Amino acid sequence: MAEQVLTELRTTHSEATGLRSIATDFSSDRQAFRNVSWGKAMMWIFLLSDTFVFSCFLISYMTARMSTTVPWPNPSEVFALTIGGTSLPLILIAIMTFVLISSSGTMAMAVNFGYRRDRRKTAVLMLVTALLGATFVGMQAFEWTKLIHEGVRPWGNPWGAAQFGSSFFMITGFHGTHVSFGVLFLLVIARKVWRGDYDHERRGFFTSRKGRYESVEIMGLYWHFVDLVWVFIFAFFYLW
Amino acid sequence: MAHSATHAQGQQHPIKLYLVVWAWLFILSACSYFVDYFQLQGLLRYSLIILFMLLKAGLIVAVFMHMAWERLSLVYAILVPISAVLVFVAIMVLESDYTLLSRIAFFGSGS
């Protein structure tokens, strides 16, 4: 009898859906999010905190731009490039966006092949992702150099509101730093995948925990987040 | 261990799904680029930019970051705090309007 009740309880517990599943998760004596590993939960919590940091930057940019009485430079013209004699508005930013989206695509496929335990394809796709990420940072370096040559500084610029410079360097700089660290992170995990660490459950050098292919997914969460932030920067900074 | 057994499966989805999402991200980015290229202005411009932005963000989070398949409690733990950001945005929009009015009133159109 007691056993039957227990089994029934257990089935309702595992089959809980909707709000009930939230209640069972948070009241469970195991871990907060059932079937979500700590590694993944912690990466999400880190990304949530990062969301707040980027939000504060974008909101302060918005506040500066909306409250200044001086005209704001037109990003469409500022970020135009002259290719073959014609001036294309925002072309560099468009290419950067496509490069970053492509890197997100290859990353998503790397995660997929990781769970299929296809060591080589996973590692190669991660290296392609890292290469696209490095390309993005390179183009950003070019963009910065060009603007610095044109006289943009954190305290001013030739076309209007001084806050344009500080917002630009802060927001794109912080995002570029994220991409750079992401490339580093990608190379570290790609090396582990290539070496077969996740097939042989080799223990990590720093944590001495057994590696799993889930690390590729956790790494992917970080990478997709960087792409996600760029979606907002693209819309608010370059298209507004 | 049932726990690691469920994880060995991981997020198994057909590659085609990722390729479709990837293609959509390209299309949506191209759309937002053309909003600028054709110099659309006013309400149309802003609503299109925000629409494409939210669609792209939604696709990335739901499919690439696998949120569509995560526990509901994890989803809520992430999405509910973000709504606080929207409140912050609303506050700062009001605040910047007020600052702009004060600047115009006290400094003319100087700074």
Specify the pLDDT at position B25: 95
Which is more confidently placed, A33 or A190?
Answer: A190
Min Cα separation B110/chain A (Å): 7
Which of A73-77, A209-213, B105-109 bottoms out in mean pLDDT, i.e. has the lowest?
A: B105-109
| Token couple for B3 | 């726990």
Taking only the tens place, the pLDDT of each residue in A114-150 is 999 999 999 999 999 999 999 999 999 999 999 999 9
**C-beta atoms of B10 and A76 within 8 A:** no
Residues 6+ positions from A42 with CB-CB distance below 8 Å: none
Tell whether the model's pLDDT for residue A72 goes beyond 80. yes
Specify the pLDDT at position B2: 39
Burial of B85 (0-12, 13-18, 19+ CB in 10 A): middle
Residue range B92-106: mean pLDDT, rounded: 93
Q: Which residue of B has its CA nearest to A232?
A: B53
Taking only the tens place, the pLDDT of each residue in B18-67 is 999 999 999 999 999 999 888 888 899 999 999 999 999 999 999 999 99
Q: What is the percentage of chain A residues whose pLDDT exceeds 90?
A: 63
Specify the pLDDT at position B12: 83
Specify the pLDDT at position B4: 42
**C-beta atoms of B110 and A69 within 8 A:** yes
Tell whether the model's pLDDT for residue B5 goes beyond 80. no
**C-beta atoms of A231 and B60 within 8 A:** yes
**C-beta atoms of A21 and B85 within 8 A:** no
What is the overall mean pLDDT for chain B?
87
Tell whether the model's pLDDT for residue A80 goes beyond 50. yes
Specify the pLDDT at position B109: 56
- Contact list in B for residue A115 (CB cut-off 8 A) is 9-12
Residue range A3-17: mean pLDDT, rounded: 62
CA atoms A54, A228, B88, A67: torsion sign: positive
**C-beta atoms of A66 and B96 within 8 A:** yes
**C-beta atoms of A63 and B21 within 8 A:** no
Among A101, A88, A73, which Cα is nearest to A167's?
A73
**What's the pLDDT band for A12 if we cut at 50, 70, 90?**
low
Specify the pLDDT at position A5: 62
The SS3 assignment for A24 reads helix
- Contact list in B for residue A32 (CB cut-off 8 A) is 73, 77
Specify the pLDDT at position A79: 87
Residue type, A48: L
Enumerate helices (H) and strands (E) in chain B, giving the number of each: 4, 0
Q: What is the CA angle A87-A93-A95, rounded to 5?
A: 90
Tell whether the model's pLDDT for residue A9 goes beyond 70. no
Reading phi first (left if > 0) and then psi (alpha if -120 to 50, else beta), residue A86 is in beta
Q: What is the percentage of chain B residues whose pLDDT exceeds 90?
A: 68
Q: How many beta-carbon pairs below 8 A join chains A and B? A: 169
Specify the pLDDT at position A205: 81
Which candidate in B3, B4, B65 is best for mutational testing of the A interface (most A CBs within 10 A)? B65
Taking only the tens place, the pLDDT of each residue in A152-192 is 999 989 988 999 999 999 999 999 999 999 999 999 999 99
- Contact list in A for residue B4 (CB cut-off 8 A) is 212
Residue range A54-78: mean pLDDT, rounded: 92
pTM summary value: 0.88
Nearest to B49 among A25, A33, A239 (CB): A239
Specify the pLDDT at position B9: 63
What is the overall mean pLDDT for chain A?
89
